[in-house]
Amino acid sequence: MDFELDPDQQMLAKTVGDFAKNESPVARFRSLRDDEIGYAPAVWQKMGELGWLGIPFSESLGGFGGGFVDCAIVLENLAATLVPEPYLASVVLGGMTLARAGNASQHAAYLAPMIEGETSLALAYAEAQSRYDVGAVETTAAPDGAGYRIAGEKVWVLNGHHADQLIVSAEAPGGVSLFVVPRDAPGLHVKVAKTIDGHKAAFIRLEDVAVGADARLGEEGSGTAVLDRTMDFAAAAAVAEGVGIASTMLQMTIDYLGTREQFGVKIGSFQALQHRGVDMYAETELLRSISMAAMVRADDDDSSVRRSDISAAKYQLATGGIWVAQQALQLHGGIGVTDEHDIGLYFKRMYALNALFGDQEHHVARFASDPAFAEAAV
Amino acid sequence: MDFELDPDQQMLAKTVGDFAKNESPVARFRSLRDDEIGYAPAVWQKMGELGWLGIPFSESLGGFGGGFVDCAIVLENLAATLVPEPYLASVVLGGMTLARAGNASQHAAYLAPMIEGETSLALAYAEAQSRYDVGAVETTAAPDGAGYRIAGEKVWVLNGHHADQLIVSAEAPGGVSLFVVPRDAPGLHVKVAKTIDGHKAAFIRLEDVAVGADARLGEEGSGTAVLDRTMDFAAAAAVAEGVGIASTMLQMTIDYLGTREQFGVKIGSFQALQHRGVDMYAETELLRSISMAAMVRADDDDSSVRRSDISAAKYQLATGGIWVAQQALQLHGGIGVTDEHDIGLYFKRMYALNALFGDQEHHVARFASDPAFAEAAV
Amino acid sequence: MDLSFTEEEEAFRQEVRDWIPAAMPEDMLETARGAGDFTPEDSATWHKILYEKGWVAPHWPEELGGTGWDAARRFIFAEEMELAGAPPLSVFGLGMVGPLIVSYGTDAQKERFLPKILSAEEFWCQGYSEPGSGSDLASLRTTAEDAGDHFIVNGQKTWTSFAQYADWIFCLVRTDPSVKKQAGITFLLIDLKSPGVQVKPMMTLGHTPAFCDTFFDNVKVPKENVVGGINQGWTMAKALLGHERTLLAMIGPSRNVLQKLKRIAAHKTANGRPMLEDPVWRARIARLEMRFRAHLMVSYRALADQQKGKMPGPETSILKLVGTKLIQELTELAMEVMGESSLTWYNEDVCLPVEESIGPYFCYERAATIYGGSNEIQRNVIAKMILQLPSS
Amino acid sequence: MDLSFTEEEEAFRQEVRDWIPAAMPEDMLETARGAGDFTPEDSATWHKILYEKGWVAPHWPEELGGTGWDAARRFIFAEEMELAGAPPLSVFGLGMVGPLIVSYGTDAQKERFLPKILSAEEFWCQGYSEPGSGSDLASLRTTAEDAGDHFIVNGQKTWTSFAQYADWIFCLVRTDPSVKKQAGITFLLIDLKSPGVQVKPMMTLGHTPAFCDTFFDNVKVPKENVVGGINQGWTMAKALLGHERTLLAMIGPSRNVLQKLKRIAAHKTANGRPMLEDPVWRARIARLEMRFRAHLMVSYRALADQQKGKMPGPETSILKLVGTKLIQELTELAMEVMGESSLTWYNEDVCLPVEESIGPYFCYERAATIYGGSNEIQRNVIAKMILQLPSS
């Protein structure tokens, strides 16, 4: 057993961490919150040049051939300064779905330029009624000549306001299927919503959008299985980010406790606050530890190996991670609830991560429905 | 609105409280734990003479004509020193069931002597599989001539080892019915179990125990409704006791924090322990406050008025009350987990109260199943 | 013990319940039924309507504009306002400085200030906290220098909620730096239109401009604006804090969030059925409602004491602690029930029906465990004052 | 990162897994499958079986009777023992005083004491706490007066777990009352058969005689029984405490209670179906199992560090805190799942199948957050040592 990063991974962590600290401090995220895009395509392209966008994709697809652990390293380190570029939305949600479900010409057309940082992707899988069930799709793909006409509404499409292509799930005659749809396709209407964490998401209405047969990823009916797998990666990615968020909030809080004075002493000398700090530390280390298991096992094709640790990790984010965020805010006192202080930005990002890709009850129920759970052996 | 006791009630509280402190301090409970009966019939009789055993029964039955609040006063004050006499088992479980379901001759035969303290009662309602569902009865009452033959097993019969009469639920042709059975009836076998809180309960096997038709309380099939109502009284009674237990544990803990020294100071000066003490105080006051609502409403014949507050109170016992007990033990440190110190006796009694008459999930589900819950109005 | 209201009290309840929808403008009724996101202007409008009815200050003495109701009627009135989802009135004038002036003000102060608080001609805000003085309020540094018949005030107040809508501010200022820190503080009323005052709204976590920084640069304040005497400010502050505590029990807001939570859960689905019918979600909501009931009973105990003219019992000290935690747990659960839709702000009607929005309110209530004496400070105080635990 | 065990390690696991049932007496196998309520005699028997196999002290140096296994094998061995439900061995000799003698003992001490610990000829107990010295261990008052070649020991130790079954006790005693309290303490080995020693078993909350008061009345102890040097006792105690912390992660006990919890919930019914199939109960068990997994991963990180010969990271400081809380939450949930049957003691076979009993163990584990440095003391230490928060 080995929980350490190998030398290449250590280098990656350092490179991404340095980039975040030096080139994208929190002030950059702040300044881009009200921007129409919310991030900088030039920085996205630079990430492509640095090879970060190709990490989880095989070399034959123009990628780096890394494991999910490498993705997690990028996500955790970008999270430390809230770097706004859509790594999770485009690489994990869009890219990894495309890589698994698409064919060579689809890879060449859509994945390769994303890996270069020239384009970005989005995954339009959620619907108003679906609540974490990727198979609950009411959008339809009706056969139309050699192609399809897609009609329906998708919600909370991360990076959907700017992605070049959207991967859309729709019910075709053969079952839930995935289609690549250009964002500028006629009949595709986008409304942009600001999210509480300072990001953006799209609400997308598809009015009989025509696509060719070559827009379909894989066979008809293969969509739910692919999306299920993507959701595991996505939940693991949220946890990786959550580790970055929680660690940063913990450190900011410890620093604040060691600096802020009231009643003539540093408030970090008050025992009740010290004990709170220790419990925050414990929850953060529990999150980090189970996250390691989730990252390593995310690549496992055996869902019984993969899922239980990912669910356990997302559950720890929903409980311990959220608790750390709450306490960090509380211990910052009055300034913590102003928009001026950074701690609140991390707080809201943690809540967003919690709401995405399955909440605690979703993951508890999933964990408990694994046949291994009912067996006495743990 | 008025939460104060009236002068008579204040007097009752003082009388019972003084009795507990002076005539039955915790040492008395301790000395009786290994006694075959576990309490003193002479003290029981004295309680009868003082009129306490007749409190909730109408004057025509030889009672005092009081409300459930008066019962609660007795229970709370007896709990403060863990007085071992079976008030809850005999007056609330046995007596109140008999009073509601029995006829005049049954009242005269069984209730009147109990009110005098000459006999005691027990309610045999639980079965191994029933878990808080008083209607889940597998014990049978088969018609036999003018009477019945009762067969089956009853578990955790409080005071069942010493009661003169047991009220037994059994499935008769017309449905679940209640029968008065003398403890020495042929075919009735009693095994005694010690409970963790230093009390005793009986496991009772009925091997075709013959009873006359006059042993049946009310009509055939009326048993479940009567028992449901008794369980509301019983849950409220457990809460009343719980208030006594929690208040006493809180006070013992505050006293200990103000006395015990470590590191050259009173441990009650440590901020983390002070804050714990405050949270214990808050949970105790929440328990006391909702308990008042439960006691007042226990007498209401409208179950929609009665049940929600009783369930809310039992839920607060299961959460806040149990938490107070846990913290009281923890703050007593090493001596708290010895049998020598009294705090552990209260701790275990709180757990017993928690396990009886519906656990937290039972009461949460019941509260949530009230039609009023689903309406938006709170 | 008797937990019911009298027949007369129930009749009064009905009177209030009938009056509200008749008196409230149609657009505000709609907001009340919906998101409840009233503007400060809505609150001012409602304030004036209540003023005209004579119901704006139930807890003031009748001769100074109060209603003459007893504690039960005041409680019923507040409860009905909350149940109707009426706009909250600004608390700083009616609930804080007004009662203080009633108790400690000069006759001239009563005449000058009280009528305009009642009529909503003047709104107030509170100037207590400073950047370096939060929990340790007594360390405040804003100075009021004696200049004969007036003071010259210099310094910065922060957390001055709704100062941008206010006409006056009541401040704690340091008038004597030479004595023990609590002893040199004065309670001072300052006209925000005075030269040298600058109000800078700050954005909150929830992206609402709820509070401000307020700066004082050589601001001239007449000495007749002192309440309670020079260097008596700490006594005034303590009098106000005790008053704030019951306000902070959050009974009304908790009831509203519970209702909203159930409304959302009744139609939002998980695993193909309304969440309110899912045993796990149902139980989570029920647990909070049961806790709310226990908390409500503590409030009722305080009410019953008031009704009898008694001082509220020690148990009222926990109201802020329990109530603010509960409102946070309720909004946290609402965020969870909303699922992905919790990602939104209320002004994004693209995302979801506006009456389901919870995010900004959730963010707003994060401050509840901080303001009015943080819950950590509350515990310090209860440990010493109520439990009488030893000092370190 | 690699979270799997190697092929060789898995083969070793299989070897251990096959050996246990072959080596264990039939009656103990039955207890292992059932209630797990082994007697001290069972533990001694199992100790001797392991000793004969050479597996009794995996973490001791090979030349002193250890197995020569690396950290992974030691971990696998411990895990398999737990999974098989094997009797726990007394930790005071093998896990505490033994390793301390290995590190700090004289050659004579090693020869005298270590072989008999291994062979189970001598059992040990711990004499640290005193009635007035719990969390503030350094305030201890038991004295060892210098009397030439020996000490005269007087005082009282409490919480001396299993002293009634032990032959020797290791104690912290005060040898110099004139210096700073930590500086005057010595680590001393005392033969419990010495004249003047009296052991009085105490009953616990759970009605098991788990610990004792031990009294010393002018007990003569030779000076060669000092470990680590006179007045060096505090250093010895700290060395042992660090070691205890990983023991107190409670991985094995937690796993066992989780298994037991599921076994009970799988056949016990609520509302007409097995509780394990009820969504609410199922979720409550799953939540604790998920937390157990996170906690287990912290342990694995410590293991991987050891495997590499590195000092365990700071995160191991939380193992006791999290692990003891978790075992309590597991036993609390087990009590709830048992319902009315939680009212019993395990020796009451009238009540329920003995393998379902949880009450006494539940009571026993209430001490877990107190012994070995209470969790409050753990937080004090982590705040200062790991988080480096300021002192008051």
Decide: B122 and B93 in contact? Cβ < 8 Å: yes
Shortest distance, CA B314 to any CA of chain D (angstroms): 14
Res C136: pLDDT: 92
Average pLDDT over residues C133-149: 94
Res C354: pLDDT: 62
- Inter-chain contact B315–C290, Cβ cutoff 8 Å? yes
- Measured between beta carbons, which residues in chain B are less than 8 angstroms from residue A272? 271-272, 274-275
Q: Which residues of chain A are in CATH 1.20.140.10 domains?
A: 224-377
Comparing C274 with C356, the larger pLDDT belongs to C274
- Measured between beta carbons, which residues in chain B are less than 8 angstroms from residue A275? 272
Shortest distance, CA C174 to any CA of chain B (angstroms): 30
pLDDT tens profile C203-254: 899 887 778 999 999 999 999 999 999 999 999 998 887 666 666 788 888 9
Q: Which residues of chain B are in CATH 2.40.110.10 domains?
A: 123-219
Res A346: pLDDT: 98
Decide: C214 and C160 in contact? Cβ < 8 Å: yes
Which residue out of D135, D288, D378, D379 would a mutagenesis test of the A interface target, given it has the greatest number of A Cβ atoms within 10 Å?
D379
Touching check for A275 and chain C: CB below 8 Å?
A: no
E strand residue ranges, chain D: 124-127, 143-147, 150-157, 168-174, 185-191, 197-202, 211-222, 226-227, 269-270, 273-274
> Considering CB atoms only, which of B338, B355, B361 is closest to D202?
B338
Res C156: pLDDT: 97
Q: Which residues of chain B are in CATH 1.10.540.10 domains?
A: 7-119
Res C353: pLDDT: 67
Average pLDDT over residues D379-389: 95
Average pLDDT over residues D179-185: 94
Decide: A316 and A290 in contact? Cβ < 8 Å: yes
pLDDT classification of B377: cutoffs 50, 70, 90: low
Question: What residue type is assigned to position C122 of the chain?
Answer: E
Of all residues in chain C, the one with the smallest CA distance to D392 is C392
pLDDT classification of D350: cutoffs 50, 70, 90: low
Comparing B375 with C157, the larger pLDDT belongs to C157
Mean pLDDT, chain D, whole residue set: 91
Beta partners for D124? D168
pLDDT classification of C360: cutoffs 50, 70, 90: confident
- Measured between beta carbons, which residues in chain C are less than 8 angstroms from residue A234? none
pLDDT classification of C114: cutoffs 50, 70, 90: very high
CB proximity list for D109: less than 8 A, separation 6 or greater: D101, D189, D224, D227
Q: Please list the active-site residues of C.
A: 244
Other beta carbons less than 10 A from residue D180's beta carbon: 9
Give me the total of CB pairs closer than 8 Å, taking one residue from chain C and one from chain D. 9
Neighbouring subunits of B (3+ Cβ pairs under 8 A): A, C, D
Res A304: pLDDT: 86
> Which of these ranges, A319-333, B262-276, D68-82, has the smallest mean pLDDT?
D68-82
Q: Tell me the C-alpha distance between D153 and A57, whole Å.
A: 71
Touching check for B254 and chain C: CB below 8 Å?
A: yes
Please identify, in words, the CATH class of the domain defined by A224-377: mainly alpha
pLDDT classification of D346: cutoffs 50, 70, 90: low
Touching check for D300 and chain A: CB below 8 Å?
A: yes
- Inter-chain contact B373–C301, Cβ cutoff 8 Å? no
pLDDT tens profile B287-307: 999 999 999 999 999 998 899
Give me the total of CB pairs closer than 8 Å, taking one residue from chain B and one from chain C. 159
Give me the total of CB pairs closer than 8 Å, taking one residue from chain A and one from chain D. 159
Report the share of chain D in percent with pLDDT over 90: 68
pLDDT tens profile B161-186: 999 999 999 999 999 999 999 999 99
Res A377: pLDDT: 54
Res A240: pLDDT: 98
- Inter-chain contact B126–D340, Cβ cutoff 8 Å? yes
Decide: C201 and C164 in contact? Cβ < 8 Å: yes
Contacts 24+ apart (CB under 8 A), A172-175: A172/A140, A172/A141, A172/A142, A172/A143, A172/A148, A172/A216, A172/A220, A172/A221, A173/A143, A173/A220, A174/A219, A174/A220, A174/A221, A175/A220, A175/A221, A175/A222, A175/A223, A175/A224
Comparing C81 with B1, the larger pLDDT belongs to C81
pLDDT classification of B313: cutoffs 50, 70, 90: very high
CB proximity list for C270: less than 8 A, separation 6 or greater: A131, A132, A361, C278, C281, C339
Q: In degrees, to the nearest 5, what angle opens at C-alpha B316 toward C-alphas B315 and B317?
A: 90
Decide: C208 and C367 in contact? Cβ < 8 Å: no
> Which of these ranges, A140-149, A273-282, B245-254, D154-163, has the smallest mean pLDDT?
D154-163
Tell me what percent of chain B is helix, strand and coil, each rounded to the nearest 5. Answer: 55, 15, 30
Q: Is the dihedral of CA D91, D95, D100, D102 positive or negative?
A: positive
Of all residues in chain A, the one with the smallest CA distance to C332 is A351
Shortest distance, CA D360 to any CA of chain B (angstroms): 8
pLDDT tens profile A205-260: 999 999 999 999 999 999 999 999 999 999 999 999 999 999 999 999 999 999 99
Instruction: Provide the token pair at D201.
Output: 């078993």
Report the share of chain A in percent with pLDDT over 70: 99
Other beta carbons less than 10 A from residue D285's beta carbon: 22
pLDDT classification of C49: cutoffs 50, 70, 90: very high
Res D246: pLDDT: 66
Mean pLDDT, chain C, whole residue set: 91
Rounded to 10 degrees, what is the CA torsion of D372, D375, D381, D385? 100
> Which of these ranges, A61-75, A107-121, B93-107, C66-80, has the smallest mean pLDDT?
C66-80
> Considering CB atoms only, which of A261, A338, A365 is closest to C205?
A338
Res B275: pLDDT: 98
Of all residues in chain D, the one with the smallest CA distance to A365 is D283
Shortest distance, CA A88 to any CA of chain C (angstroms): 16
Q: Tell me the C-alpha distance between B253 and B329, whole Å.
A: 8
Which residue out of D271, D273, D278, D280 would a mutagenesis test of the C interface target, given it has the greatest number of C Cβ atoms within 10 Å?
D280
- Inter-chain contact B282–C283, Cβ cutoff 8 Å? no
> Considering CB atoms only, which of B156, B326, B334 is closest to D343?
B156
- Inter-chain contact A281–D318, Cβ cutoff 8 Å? yes
pLDDT at C336 over 80: yes
Res C369: pLDDT: 94
- Measured between beta carbons, which residues in chain D are less than 8 angstroms from residue A273? 389
From B328, B327, B317, B312, select the one nearest B350 (Cα to Cα): B317
Average pLDDT over residues D247-271: 88
Shortest distance, CA D161 to any CA of chain B (angstroms): 12
> Considering CB atoms only, which of C129, C203, C344 is closest to A339?
C203
**DSSP 8-state code for residue B376:** S
- Inter-chain contact B312–C4, Cβ cutoff 8 Å? no
ipTM summary value: 0.95
Overall pTM surpassing 0.80 (yes/no): yes
CATH topology of domain A123-219: Butyryl-CoA Dehydrogenase, subunit A; domain 2 (2.40.110)
Comparing D348 with C337, the larger pLDDT belongs to C337
Shortest distance, CA C292 to any CA of chain A (angstroms): 21
pLDDT classification of D351: cutoffs 50, 70, 90: low
Res C40: pLDDT: 87
In D347-376, the residues whose Cβ lies within 8 Å of chain B are: 348, 350-351, 359, 363, 366-367, 369-371, 374-376
Tell me what percent of chain A is helix, strand and coil, each rounded to the nearest 5. Answer: 55, 15, 30
pLDDT at D186 over 90: yes
Q: Note the CATH architecture for domain A7-119.
A: Orthogonal Bundle (1.10)
pLDDT at B228 over 70: yes
- Inter-chain contact C370–A129, Cβ cutoff 8 Å? no
Res D271: pLDDT: 83
Touching check for A302 and chain D: CB below 8 Å?
A: no
From C76, C77, C75, C55, select the one nearest C65 (Cα to Cα): C55
**DSSP 8-state code for residue C339:** G
Shortest distance, CA C273 to any CA of chain D (angstroms): 15
- Inter-chain contact A133–C271, Cβ cutoff 8 Å? yes
- Inter-chain contact A132–C269, Cβ cutoff 8 Å? no
Res D353: pLDDT: 67
Neighbouring subunits of C (3+ Cβ pairs under 8 A): A, B, D
> Considering CB atoms only, which of C263, C298, C301 is closest to B376?
C263
Q: Please list the active-site residues of D.
A: 244
pLDDT tens profile B318-370: 999 999 999 999 999 999 999 999 999 999 999 999 999 999 999 999 999 99
- Measured between beta carbons, which residues in chain A are less than 8 angstroms from residue B274? 272
pLDDT at A5 over 60: yes
Instruction: Provide the token pair at A373.
Output: 């759970």
- Inter-chain contact C315–B378, Cβ cutoff 8 Å? no
pLDDT at C293 over 90: yes
pLDDT classification of A308: cutoffs 50, 70, 90: very high
Res D355: pLDDT: 65
From C221, C244, C230, select the one nearest C99 (Cα to Cα): C244
Touching check for B351 and chain A: CB below 8 Å?
A: no
Neighbouring subunits of A (3+ Cβ pairs under 8 A): B, C, D
Touching check for A275 and chain B: CB below 8 Å?
A: yes
- Measured between beta carbons, which residues in chain C are less than 8 angstroms from residue B374? 262, 266, 276
Touching check for C226 and chain A: CB below 8 Å?
A: no
